[in-house]
Amino acid sequence: MGIGVVYQQPVVFPDISVVENIFAGHQLIIDRKWWPFVNRKAMKKQVEDIFIRMGITIDPSAKMASLSIGDRQLVEIAKALTDNIRVLILDEPTASLSENGVEALFEVIKKLTAHGVAILFISHRIDEIFKIGDRVTILRDGQKVATRYISQISRSLLIEMMVGRPLNSFFTKGESKLRAEALRIENWGRRGDFANISFSVKGGEILGLAGLVGSGRTEVARTIMGIDQPDAGKLWINGDRVIPKSPGQMLRHGVAYIPEDRQGLGLTLDWSSRMNITLPVLPRLSYWGKFPKTEKERVLAREYTSKLQIHPPDIETLVSSLSGGNQQKVLLAKWLTINPNVLILDDPTVGVDIGAKEEIYRIITSLVEKGVAVIFISSDLPELLAPEY
């Protein structure tokens, strides 16, 4: 019917190529009388043409599993453009894109609207709404609040309609007391990903790592956590030299890592909030470290559900049924149970609404006030310079 949809979380087949993903279910066929063939050459050419138009440099023959989240999102957008669409629904399409990727997407949107395509653009990024939109409809708690032309509404009024309270009641970061150095790396490197990275972070401090998607920020975090191995450099935790070999080892040193892909790498979606939150500390909540004490699990899960204001508060709710913001808070709760000394957050506010973003900021600030060292990775530079909400 000419309706295309790009969902917030890319839905891909990881073990086949970019071209095969884009044409899954509607391959181009060479219609031979006795034996039809898939026209792979034509499909690849069409994908290449779309990529050129969007400014995408992804190899159409690459397997989807080898792509970053941002590149997978671009492939999903390209997939929608292979059909003769009249209405295109984009759900948080820029959440995992670099600044250049966002600009390329906006150029594609302008071309589509110039040819009569209607765009439904769903986003929590207020600046994008004002940049790309003609009209805006505000939703809150599943209800329509208002519809306005962009020229008829201010940024502050739009935010107030979204969250139900004035802008001046939002979060502002306070001062915290700096403590001893918690983590330091010198000349840190991994061949093909990054080189000569040096920084330190103290207890009670938030260190921001800025950069576009694909700049190497996530790769730095993964090597610190022992997920991947560095080729060069040294690392100290609380003044002691440590060679990261595994996530389990770094957890024992008090380092926790919250990945950017909360659904793919952070959470077990078909488990309850309780099971996700208590997973890292399950041995201490079990008889002889093997048989879970369910009531102790419930007590701990309820404590963190209340602290982080996770909704709904029912700890037996499946994580897959929660909103993006509440999934992110479950992921935070999961790693806060180990009482980390160093917390690495990789784009923790991507795809969450303004209200949830404010709550995440409050959680981080409360940790910093207790002396936790926070490494905050973000592709949103204004967020690092000064949280606006």
Domain boundaries defined on the chain:
3-133, 181-385
pLDDT, one tens digit per residue, over 150-173 is 999 998 888 788 877 665 555 566
Q: Which span out of 12-21, 87-96, 278-287 was modeled with the highest average pLDDT?
A: 12-21
The pLDDT assigned to 389 comes to 37
Q: Look-up: residue for tokens 């040096």?
A: 198
DSSP 335: H
Residue 321 CA to residue 266 CA, distance in Å, equals 15
Assigned token pair, 351: 């795809």
Q: How far apart are CA 313 and CA 268, in angstroms?
A: 18
Residue 173: per-residue pLDDT = 63
**DSSP category for residue 300:** H
Whether 94 contacts 123, CB under 8 Å: yes
Mean pLDDT of 123-147: 89
Q: Taking a C-beta distance cutoff of 8 angstroms, is the pair 36, 29 a contact?
A: yes
* 328's tokens: 């992110």
How many of the other CB atoms lie within 10 Å of CB of 68? 15
Of residues 188 and 30, more confidence is placed in: 188
The amino acid occupying position 369 is E
Lowest average pLDDT, out of 64-73, 130-139, 333-342, goes to: 64-73
pLDDT band at 278 (very low <50, low <70, confident <90, very high): very high
CATH fold group of domain 3-133: Rossmann fold (3.40.50)
Q: Which pLDDT belongs to residue 26?
A: 81
The span from the CA of 145 to the CA of 169, in Å, is 20
User: Class of the 181-385 domain?
Assistant: alpha beta
Examine domains 3-133 and 181-385 and report if their fold is the same.
Answer: yes
Local confidence band at 336 (pLDDT 50, 70, 90 cut-offs): very high
Length in residues, the chain: 389
pLDDT at 291 over 80: no
Distance between CA 80 and CA 10 in Å, rounded?
12
Instruction: Kindly give, in sequence order, each residue whose CB lies less than 8 Å from that of residue 195, ignoring residues fewer than 6 positions away.
Output: 189, 232
How far is it, in rounded angstroms, from Cα 351 to Cα 84? Answer: 28
- Sorted by sequence, the CB contacts under 8 Å of residue 110 that are 6+ apart come out as none
> Hey, which of 199-208, 321-330, 348-357 has the most confident mean pLDDT?
199-208
Whole-number pLDDT of residue 388: 44
pLDDT in tens, 12-49: 899 999 999 999 888 888 776 677 788 889 999 999 98
